[in-house]
Chain A
Amino acid sequence: MKYEHLYVVMEHEGGKPVPVSLEMLGEARRLMDGYNKRYNANEKVVAVVLGNNVRKLCEELVYYGADAVIYADSPEFEYSRNVVDTKVVSAIAVDKNLVLKFSPQSTDFVKPHYMFFAADNIGRQLSSTVVGTLDSGLASDINKLVIDDLEIKHEHKTKGQPVMYERTLEMYRPDFSGFLWTTILCLDNRNPAIQRDYHPQACSIIPGVFAPIARDASRKGVIVDYTPTFDPGDLQVKILSRKIVKSAVDFDSKKAVVSFGRGIKDSPEANIRLVTELAKELNAEVGVSLPMSKKPFPVSESVSSTYMIPDRVVGTSGRKVIPLLYIAAGISGAMHHLAGMKESEFVIAINPDEEANIKDESDIFIKGRMEDVIPVLIEELRSVKPAMEVRK
């Protein structure tokens, strides 16, 4: 077949895989096991790794579900450079000789059938340029995947005629509101006027969504060494320095997180102050829902630049937090947000709307407006504190 196998582009830091790499492999394994059974096929999960001294990582990737690992090892891959990595990953993806090493029957191979990337700072951009180089399409920020045969009738793709697209990857993408799910398909043009193949069917996958499979050191796979060639012009792009920075926002070392959302709307400035006062009382970090980072309310510059920032977003577009206590004030609970906080040990929501999604993720749901609830809650926290200290 011209289009075969599922390629998964790995990311790692100094040879240690970033979590989403293993998550992608896990989902790829589950999908292809189902696929091979259903279609009586033998398509592989192929991990692609660029790095410096990454041979050992390749074995790990087999233990985590890869049938084959294609790796390119060079000091040039110490740190990711989009222009360099794009060409090498694209070259690997169309190299039939590599495929024949793990799938000898793939003599007609042209390009991968499917391709996964991480929807993170590196993968989102690498996916765009690699899939562009392969002249195909991709969906970003996916959190559900299905492979199925679909009958499609489309003005352009099929010239309005019903056409069966077999083995099509349905890529589910939550929209920015977190309430709508859009399914994206990447389809060959079967309309004779614009005839064109679009493979691989590719996407970037949101970190933290899929579970990796359990590590199994008895799993066997084929590890294929690829020798890259570099364009000297591209190597003029140089990483001069690299500094690890700590965000001013520190969710990880705090026992509690207090987040706010659109519920601040009636008096934004005063409500944010209430939330921060509550956070201070609990020694908690302050989080926000995604819409807050778009600065939807007029507030003072200092409040805006301190709180309504992407660094504080809890959810799939921001950070995942797992504190002992999570308080969601005026947050309705879009899927984005829930994914970022639902593993918290104890959850309290403050919301006037009992129908809000956040309720089902809460241990305690305080029905009420935050401007009414939080001042009383702070008073009570202070008043019961001495007694609680004694109990400790």
Chain B
Amino acid sequence: MGVTGSAMKELNLAVIVKLEPDFSEGNVSYNADGTLNRAETKSILGPHSAIACSAAFYAKVKYGARISVGTMGPPIADAALAQAQQICDADELHLYSDRLFAGADTWATAETLRAGIAKMQGKMDIVFSGHRASDGETGQTGPQTALKLGYTFLGHVIDYEVDMDRRVVRAKRLITLQGFYDVIEEVEAPLPVFIAIDPSYKPSFNTVSQRLAYEKYQKEAKARVANYKQYLKVFNAQQLEVDPKMVGLPGSPTIVYKVEKIPKAKASRKTEVIDGSNRAELRRVAIKIHEVLGGMVIK
């Protein structure tokens, strides 16, 4: 492979991330009815966002890359950007923050992110996002941002390589075909692409030079995070040059009409309640289990 020419220029990468409730024990708080207590729950960089950052860092180590990370959120979402920088040694951090963005559905969120990515330095070769947010769980914002950018969307990516000469990405995708089987599909696409990274993604660094680069950039990331505000740019709607009618609540096709507790389903079985501290009772359960598994119980 030739090392000369414009084809070998380093990659320009963007990662879009989200500040999410921290579902880890000690930080998450649930109401008595099982719903999330948002006021008492801390927020962190979402776990899927963190995986997207490590996927971008992989390219930085392996091919050389400039990384920009963007998020839409309240001013405190800069904490998520700092956590992201720690993972991927980002060169640029973007926070899109404005009351006008609030209440956006996925389509209006995608508009803000599209405008934000356009403000990042250089044209992006790959944009990464997580698989979905842990709180919203729609998985729609990634593909819709890709659509607005006009980038090929690749979801469920578990592994990828870039052919720097040909400027194409080769990705492995893990797809569950309901009622059939899972497949791992290998797909090739010309840059630019948008990659939504699968939760099972794990980067591996095999060569000595990769491990050295990994350590170098990790060290650099640590130093950068100590001064992360130096890398941070905050944009409001006007600075992003978005049409206020296309973002936030006014730009959202959908609304939340109502939220209710899911009514308890009718009891579908006749339940026998057993005292768990009574050994004789548990012996009866043990016999029952053997009967069920031995095909001796016909209901």
| A interacts with B | yes
Inter-chain contacts of A345 with B (CB < 8 A): 292, 299
A244/B140 in contact, CB under 8 A: no
The CA of A139 and the CA of B256, in the complex, are separated in Å by 10
**Are A82 and B274 CB-contacts (below 8 A) given A132-B148, A366-B285, A381-B286?**
no
A137/B105 in contact, CB under 8 A: yes
Chain A, residues 348-392, CB within 8 Å of chain B (1/0): the string is 101010100101111111111100110011001101110010011
A380/B139 in contact, CB under 8 A: no
Q: Does A198 reach chain B (CB closer than 8 Å)?
A: yes
**Are A244 and B183 CB-contacts (below 8 A) given A170-B257, A363-B271?**
yes
Q: Does A3 reach chain B (CB closer than 8 Å)?
A: no
Inter-chain contacts of A182 with B (CB < 8 A): 256, 258-259
The CA of A24 and the CA of B284, in the complex, are separated in Å by 43
Q: Is the interface of B mostly helix, strand, loop or mixed?
A: mixed
B254/A185 in contact, CB under 8 A: yes
* Chain A, 284-330, CB within 8 A of any chain B CB: 291, 294-298, 309-310, 317, 324-325
The CA of A132 and the CA of B270, in the complex, are separated in Å by 47
* Chain B, 230-285, CB within 8 A of any chain A CB: 245, 249-250, 252-262, 264-277, 279, 282-283, 285
**Are A377 and B269 CB-contacts (below 8 A) given A13-B180, A120-B178?**
no
A324/B47 in contact, CB under 8 A: no
Q: Does B138 reach chain A (CB closer than 8 Å)?
A: yes
**Are A20 and B286 CB-contacts (below 8 A) given A138-B140, A179-B35, A265-B25?**
no
* CB closest chain-B residue, reference A358: B271
B182/A247 in contact, CB under 8 A: yes
B268/A342 in contact, CB under 8 A: yes
A246/B186 in contact, CB under 8 A: no
Inter-chain contacts of B273 with A (CB < 8 A): 354, 359, 365, 367
Q: Does B10 reach chain A (CB closer than 8 Å)?
A: no
**Are A184 and B274 CB-contacts (below 8 A) given A177-B34, A296-B24, A360-B264?**
no
Inter-chain contacts of B35 with A (CB < 8 A): 175, 177, 179-180
**Are A236 and B190 CB-contacts (below 8 A) given A19-B178, A120-B178, A125-B139?**
yes
The CA of A185 and the CA of B257, in the complex, are separated in Å by 6
A360/B265 in contact, CB under 8 A: yes
A184/B256 in contact, CB under 8 A: yes
A140 to chain B, nearest CB (A): 4
B289/A381 in contact, CB under 8 A: yes
A392/B294 in contact, CB under 8 A: yes
The CA of A196 and the CA of B262, in the complex, are separated in Å by 33
The CA of A180 and the CA of B123, in the complex, are separated in Å by 41
B187/A365 in contact, CB under 8 A: no
B23/A291 in contact, CB under 8 A: yes
B179/A18 in contact, CB under 8 A: yes
A206 to chain B, nearest CB (A): 10
Q: Does B81 reach chain A (CB closer than 8 Å)?
A: no
A157/B255 in contact, CB under 8 A: yes
B173 to chain A, nearest CB (A): 9
Q: Does A124 reach chain B (CB closer than 8 Å)?
A: yes
How many residues on the A side are at the interface (Cβ–Cβ under 8 A)?
A: 121
Task: Name the segment of B62-70, B91-99, B151-159, B214-222 touching the other chain.
Answer: B151-159
A155/B258 in contact, CB under 8 A: no
Chain A, residues 248-284, CB within 8 Å of chain B (1/0): the string is 0000000110000000010010000000000000100
* Chain A, 167-186, CB within 8 A of any chain B CB: 170, 174-186
The CA of A63 and the CA of B262, in the complex, are separated in Å by 34
The CA of A207 and the CA of B288, in the complex, are separated in Å by 32
The CA of A159 and the CA of B144, in the complex, are separated in Å by 27
The CA of A135 and the CA of B148, in the complex, are separated in Å by 11
| Cβ contact of B36, chosen from A177, A183, A234, A365, cutoff 8 A | A177
B182/A137 in contact, CB under 8 A: no
B233 to chain A, nearest CB (A): 27
A181/B262 in contact, CB under 8 A: yes
| Cβ contact of A246, chosen from B139, B177, B181, B296, cutoff 8 A | B181
Q: Does B106 reach chain A (CB closer than 8 Å)?
A: yes
Task: Name the segment of A27-35, A108-116, A332-340 touching the other chain.
Answer: A332-340
* Chain A, 146-180, CB within 8 A of any chain B CB: 150, 152, 154-157, 170, 174-180
* CB closest chain-A residue, reference B155: A125
B31 to chain A, nearest CB (A): 9
B155/A294 in contact, CB under 8 A: no
A239/B185 in contact, CB under 8 A: yes
Inter-chain contacts of B148 with A (CB < 8 A): 132
Q: Does B116 reach chain A (CB closer than 8 Å)?
A: no
The CA of A133 and the CA of B249, in the complex, are separated in Å by 19
B154/A372 in contact, CB under 8 A: no
B25/A296 in contact, CB under 8 A: yes
Centre residue among B105, B154, B260, B265 by max chain A CB count within 10 A: B265
Q: Does B130 reach chain A (CB closer than 8 Å)?
A: no
B52 to chain A, nearest CB (A): 15
Q: Which 9 A-B pairs have the closest CB atoms?
A: A368-B276, A137-B253, A360-B267, A380-B286, A128-B143, A198-B253, A137-B254, A388-B290, A140-B138
A265-B25, A346-B299 given; 17 more Cβ-contact pairs under 8 Å: A18-B179, A125-B139, A127-B140, A138-B254, A157-B255, A177-B34, A198-B254, A295-B24, A346-B288, A354-B273, A360-B264, A363-B269, A366-B274, A368-B277, A376-B282, A384-B283, A388-B291
12 contacts between A and B (CB under 8 A): A141-B137, A176-B134, A181-B259, A181-B260, A182-B259, A186-B254, A244-B182, A310-B199, A361-B265, A361-B269, A365-B272, A384-B286
